[in-house]
Amino acid sequence: MKKIALLASLLTFLALAPAQAQTRAVAIFAGGCFWCMEPPFDKLEGVLATTSGYVGGTKADPTYEQVTSGRTGHYEALQVEYDPARVSYERLLDVFWRNIDPLDATGQFCDKGPQYRSAIFAVDDSQRAAAEASKVALDKSGKLPGRIVTEILPATKFYPAEAYHQDYYRKNSTAYSYYRWSCGRDRRLERLWGPPPKS
């Protein structure tokens, strides 16, 4: 009887596994300093996890020092794991745009260099189509005082950053707040997008 019950449990698990897998998807966004990209996604309903890391370069397993040198081709980026039944990719795109300066081709805010450029890394054709439609709509809206230079690129291997970078804004809140203020990120975002939405 125990073997039959175990087999029944296994069959139930296998039947549910594909459905469970479909409730978890991944998006990758580069918006300058990855510390600053974690908070707006972490508080979004339907986001399951965020991971700071590196994407788009040629060197395997890059370190922070190598990426910040600007010579590996990587972007500082954020991998967002989310439940598409609770939050759409289009909503993630809205949050992404609202938290970057899409007019800056040299980096983001006080951080300059190729590793700090903004980009959307699409993991499949549907994400690419949604990202392109979102970019076109934003460009046509006339909300921004310039041309959007944020690129839409195919996702490459994502490398998680070192442990001390993960959840930096929570673990080192004073240092994070000072960095964000001194970098002028919120001042520039408010000039571009208006006051932040009330949470």
Cite the active site residues: 33
Where do we find the tokens 């910040």? 68
Residue-wise burial string across 157-167, b where 16 or more C-beta atoms lie within 10 A, e elsewhere? ebbebeeebbb
Q: Among candidates 21, 149, 26, 133, which has minimal Cα distance to 78?
A: 26
Cα separation, 107 vs 112, in Å, equals: 4
Helix H or strand E segment including 35: helix 34-42
Diameter over CA atoms, the chain: 71
Instruction: Report whether 166 contacts 51 (CB < 8 A).
Output: yes
Q: How far is CA 64 from the centre of its chain?
A: 17
CA 123 – CA 100 distance, rounded (Å): 20
Cα 169 from Cα 183, distance rounded (Å): 15
